[in-house]
Amino acid sequence: NAGVTQTPKFQVLKTGQSMTLQCAQDMNHNSMYWYRQDPGMGLRLIYYSASEGTTDKGEVPNGYNVSRLNKREFSLRLESAAPSQTSVYFCASSEGWQGETQYFGPGTRLLVL
């Protein structure tokens, strides 16, 4: 039981490049989330998926897109990376709706030059 896994662990991009961050969970959770974490700030919600087949914007969705591929997988795509998107990205999942305990992956550290 791996919990929440994320790939890649670390990525360097040039401004304007695109990439997809992958996330998978093996806990049979219904809801999945993408957050970014910047120094001195709390986790900020980018997008979430309350159930398979649905996605919704969070607090900071601009510049990102997501896909809930199936119940296990939830990907985050940067179409045209910008230096402001340099951050640590965390995927999380919960059994039910947002207000329940969320379990986090190890994170992806992204540097945009």
Partner 1 sequence: GESVGLHLPTLSVQEGDNSIINCAYSNSASDYFIWYKQESGKGPQFIIDIRSNMDKRQGQRVTVLLNKTVKHLSLQIAATQPGDSAVYFCAENSWSKLSFGAGTTVTVRA
Q: Which residues of the shown chain bind partner 1 in the complex (CB under 8 A)?
A: 4, 40-43, 90, 97-107
Nearer residue to partner 1 within complex by CB, 17 or 106: 106
Least distance in angstroms from the C-beta of 4 to partner 1? 8
Least distance in angstroms from the C-beta of 15 to partner 1? 25
Least distance in angstroms from the C-beta of 100 to partner 1? 8
Angle at 112 between CA 111 and CA 113, to 5 degrees: 115
Nearer residue to partner 1 within complex by CB, 81 or 105: 105
Least distance in angstroms from the C-beta of 16 to partner 1? 28
Q: Return the exposure string of 48-70: e unless at least 16 CB atoms fall within 10 Å of the residue's CB, then b.
A: bbbeeeebeebebbeebebebee
Nearer residue to partner 1 within complex by CB, 45 or 69: 45
- Tally Cβ neighbours within 10 Å of residue 28: 9
Q: Using CB atoms within 10 A of its CB, is residue 87 exposed (0-12), middle (13-18) or buried (19+)? A: buried
Nearer residue to partner 1 within complex by CB, 43 or 69: 43
